[in-house]
């Protein structure tokens, strides 16, 4: 079976884990956490970064920093993972779901503009597959209505909107280093803080609501409980694994882009069906090759193709189910049809993409897709 994903051991991961154990500090904010912070701030010019135990935790920190309260409204895409909105639901927010664009799962800024009310306290965008949302349109709305933007950049490491790194445009950016991402640590995430006014409080929230970080910098004589917060720090063992991956970022990204392009070229040449769609890359976005997906003709076609690939030894998977139709959200949605989100729910299919996937395997997967799709028309 060709798996959907295979975690990468890129070089020094085990050596750095052993080193952090030998240093005698494996809890948060150790040697390798600091190395990771320095890397991201220098490589991408992020104003401030804080490693977290997950992207989910980074989103929860953003919700706290924005003082989201019961009755506040937060606009977010329906076609996303539940963590994107859970962080705000936990603060009491009402989620207002926006549709995707017609040609890409990313949020539709035109629909967002119609959903804004005086109660809107945040707009959350998700850069699906590492491809940028239309951030000029989103930030125009942010400025016009004075609404902060949170970039869920879980899939968007090393990807850009025009010349700006994703995660650096809104008030906050959040990243994931889950084993399914480009750069991994097993679990793990990161909060990017782009507005200086949030930095001090972010450190407090991350340290269980204490000013412990200020204490270790010698800014206060002792630390105490000063705000709400939780334990959002990852172990330095996680950071050690992550730092080894960051050392090989360029090599990892180059290989993933080669795999992505081979998929695209093979399928573009081989598929004759006009209803079969390949990924769309807007002119304003780079491609970080987080994911290669295809858009099938129908739910039935996708289900049959998944089975065909599985029978051929290939593990391909669908992705999100529209959150506005979820069991939890029954009775909470306004009833408005989000046709594009529902379309991608039914038709989008993700193909295996990981560093060790070789060209022979890619050719085999493409041959199976081409043969099945062309013969079914």
Phi/psi class of residue 241: alpha, beta or left (left: φ > 0; alpha: ψ in -120 to 50)? alpha
Q: Tens digits of per-residue pLDDT, 192-224?
A: 999 999 999 999 999 999 988 887 777 887 788
pLDDT (tens digit, 9 = 90+) per residue, 231-245?
999 999 999 999 999
For tokens 């996303």, the residue is 80
Q: Are 121 and 79 in contact (CB under 8 A)?
A: no
Q: Are residues 272 and 239 in the same domain?
A: no
Q: For residue 116, give both structure tokens.
A: 């804004």
Asked if the structure places residue 224 within a domain, the reply is yes
Final residue before a domain boundary, out of 247, 281, 306? 247
Question: Is the pLDDT assigned to residue 170 strictly greater than 80?
Answer: yes
State the pTM of this model.
0.96
Write down the pLDDT at residue 313: 98
Query: Which of 158, 201, 183, 180 is closest to 62 using CA atoms?
Result: 201
pLDDT at 48 over 90: yes
Q: Alpha carbon of 4 to those of 260, 309, 349: distances in Å?
A: 14, 11, 11
What is the domain-level CATH number for residue 357?
3.90.1150.10
d(CA 88, CA 72): 9
268 and 229 belong to one structural domain: no
* Position 335 pLDDT exceeds 80: no
Residue where a domain terminates, one of 247, 279, 295: 247
Q: What is the pLDDT of the chain when averaged over all its residues? A: 96
Using the 3D structure, point to which of 188, 216, 247 is the last residue of a domain. 247
- Mean pLDDT calculated for residue range 266-275: 90
């Amino acid at each position: 079976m060709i798996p959907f994903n295979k975690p990468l051991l890129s070089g020094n991961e085990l050596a750095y884990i052993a080193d952090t154990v030998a240093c005698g500090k494996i809890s948060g904010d150790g040697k390798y956490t600091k190395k990771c912070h320095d890397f991201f701030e220098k490589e991408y010019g992020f104003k401030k970064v804080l490693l977290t135990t997950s992207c989910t935790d980074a989103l929860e920190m953003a919700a706290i920093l924005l003082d989201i309260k019961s009755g506040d409204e937060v606009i977010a895409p329906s076609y996303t993972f539940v963590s994107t909105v859970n962080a705000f639901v936990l603060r009491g927010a009402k989620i207002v779901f926006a549709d995707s664009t017609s040609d890409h799962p990313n949020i539709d800024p035109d629909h967002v503009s119609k959903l804004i009310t005086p109660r809107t306290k945040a707009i959350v965008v998700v850069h699906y597959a590492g491809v940028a949302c239309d951030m000029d349109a989103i930030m125009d709305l942010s400025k016009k209505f004075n609404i902060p933007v949170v970039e869920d950049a879980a899939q968007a490491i090393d990807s850009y909107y025009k010349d700006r790194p994703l995660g650096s445009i809104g008030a906050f950016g959040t990243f994931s280093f889950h084993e399914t991402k480009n750069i991994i640590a097993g679990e793990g995430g990161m909060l990017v803080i782009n507005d200086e006014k949030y930095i001090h409080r972010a450190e407090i929230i991350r340290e269980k609501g204490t000013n412990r970080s200020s204490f270790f910098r010698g800014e206060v004589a002792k630390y105490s409980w000063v705000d709400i917060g939780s334990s959002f720090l990852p172990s330095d063992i996680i950071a050690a694994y992550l730092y080894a991956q960051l050392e090989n970022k360029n090599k990892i990204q180059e290989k993933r882009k080669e795999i992505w392009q081979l998929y695209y070229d093979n399928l573009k040449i081989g598929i004759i069906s006009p209803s079969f769609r390949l990924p769309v890359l807007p002119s304003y976005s780079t491609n970080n090759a987080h994911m290669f997906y295809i858009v099938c003709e129908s739910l039935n076609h996708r289900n049959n193709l998944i089975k065909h690939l599985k029978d051929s030894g290939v593990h391909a998977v669908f992705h999100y189910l529209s959150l506005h139709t979820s069991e939890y959200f029954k009775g909470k949605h306004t009833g408005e049809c989000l046709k594009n989100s529902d379309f991608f729910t039914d038709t989008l299919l993700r193909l295996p993409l990981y560093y060790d996937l070789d060209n022979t395997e890619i050719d085999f997967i493409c041959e199976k897709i081409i043969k099945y799709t062309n013969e079914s028309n």
